[in-house]
Amino acid sequence: QVRLAESGGGSVQAGGSLRLSCATSGYTDSWKYMAWFRQAPGKEREGLAAIYPLGGVKLYADSVKGRFAISKDNAESTMYLQMNSLKPEDTAMYYCATAADYRAPNLWLLPSAYPYWGQGTQVTVSS
């Protein structure tokens, strides 16, 4: 059974940084597609960054490009999201997700493309 567990969230002032971690377990196949999402109260879940580890390909949403960086440590089976220059509008619950089957690149930032999700970690950015 695939399990994902996020950590690293917290409260930070605008301009600060946080690094989120997503610990993974239960995969018997090579890691395929992984991604970070966030959801603020009253808003839809938003895709932020995706990574295809086997191909070394990364994809970012325009809202976080240049500020956030996704990475994965295959040895530790952990995915990371380095978040810099945080803004109050980055306040949300952050989730990691993964999928083992093929996903076309145009799907990588869509929540519907991922069957496995973590429970989320809260990020709060104050002005």
Residue 28 has pLDDT above 70, yes or no: no
> Read out DSSP for 11-49?
EEETT--EEEEEEEE---SPP-EEEEEEE-TTS--EEEE
Question: Across residues 38-61, what is the average pLDDT?
Answer: 92
| pLDDT one-digit tens code per residue, 92-102 | 999 999 998 88
Question: Across residues 32-42, what is the average pLDDT?
Answer: 94
Residue 29 has pLDDT above 70, yes or no: no
